[in-house]
């Protein structure tokens, strides 16, 4: 009985199209990165920012664009087609922050949006900041030893 069921499930399950999925993820992820490079070049050439300031402004702009597109419902449509290509760049992080907040908008801005805004971002920020402190302390100790 168990073997028959497994065979039946395999027969009716849709077969994933790996090559198509990989190609779309590569194209969309690359396109997002190209857009980021264009924004970076615009900041450097037209706003005359140095390399470091331009990189920070580009990151902020991409996060804003990702959050805006998520709020408008466009980023989810991109994600359905692109898969991992839309979640890897920094815009995917913005999407993962805004999506839980948008789900609870009907519960109000404080208890809905505010309480759920950091569901995904909270652990990422905590571990990111924590690991940077540990690495910084290790670097400090290593430089003292030299």
| Maximum pairwise Cα distance, the chain | 70
Output the pLDDT for position 106: 74
> Does a structural domain hold residue 120?
no
Res. 128 pLDDT band, cuts 50 70 90 = confident
Q: Which domain holds residue 35?
A: 18-103
Residue 25's SS3 state is helix
Output the pLDDT for position 58: 94
> Does a structural domain hold residue 110?
no
Output the pLDDT for position 49: 94
Q: What would the pLDDT profile of 42-63 be if each residue is shown by its tens digit?
A: 999 999 999 999 999 999 999 8
Mean pLDDT on 99-112: 74
72 phi and psi angles, rounded to 5 deg:
-85, -10
Overall number of domains in the chain: 1
> Does a structural domain hold residue 52?
yes
Q: Does position 41 have pLDDT exceeding 90, yes or no?
A: yes
Q: Is 122 exposed, middle or buried (0-12, 13-18, 19+ CB in 10 A)?
A: exposed
Pair of tokens at residue 83: 């898969």
> Does a structural domain hold residue 57?
yes
For residues 63 and 93, what is the distance between their CA atoms, to the nearest angstrom?
Answer: 8
> Does a structural domain hold residue 40?
yes
> Does a structural domain hold residue 132?
no
Q: Does position 120 have pLDDT exceeding 70, yes or no?
A: no
pTM, entire model: 0.69
> Does a structural domain hold residue 11?
no
Res. 1 pLDDT band, cuts 50 70 90 = low
Output the pLDDT for position 6: 84
How much of the chain exceeds pLDDT 90, in percent?
A: 30
What is the chain's alpha carbon radius of gyration, rounded to the nearest angstrom?
Answer: 21
> Does a structural domain hold residue 45?
yes
Q: Does position 64 have pLDDT exceeding 70, yes or no?
A: yes
Residue matched to tokens 């998520």:
70
């Amino acid at each position: 009985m168990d073997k028959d069921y497994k065979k039946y499930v395999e027969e009716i399950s849709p077969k994933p199209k790996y090559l198509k999925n990989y190609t779309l993820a590569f194209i969309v992820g690359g396109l997002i990165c190209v857009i980021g490079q264009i924004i970076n070049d615009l900041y450097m050439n037209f706003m005359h920012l140095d390399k470091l300031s331009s990189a920070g402004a580009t990151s902020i702009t991409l996060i804003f664009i990702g959050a805006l597109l998520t709020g408008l419902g466009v980023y989810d449509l991109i994600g359905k087609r692109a898969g991992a290509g839309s979640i890897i760049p920094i815009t995917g992080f913005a999407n993962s922050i805004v999506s839980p907040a948008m789900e609870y908008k009907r519960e109000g801005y404080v208890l809905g949006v505010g309480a759920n805004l950091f569901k995904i971002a909270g652990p990422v920020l905590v571990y990111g900041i924590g690991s940077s402190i540990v690495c910084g302390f290790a670097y400090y100790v290593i430089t003292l030893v030299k």
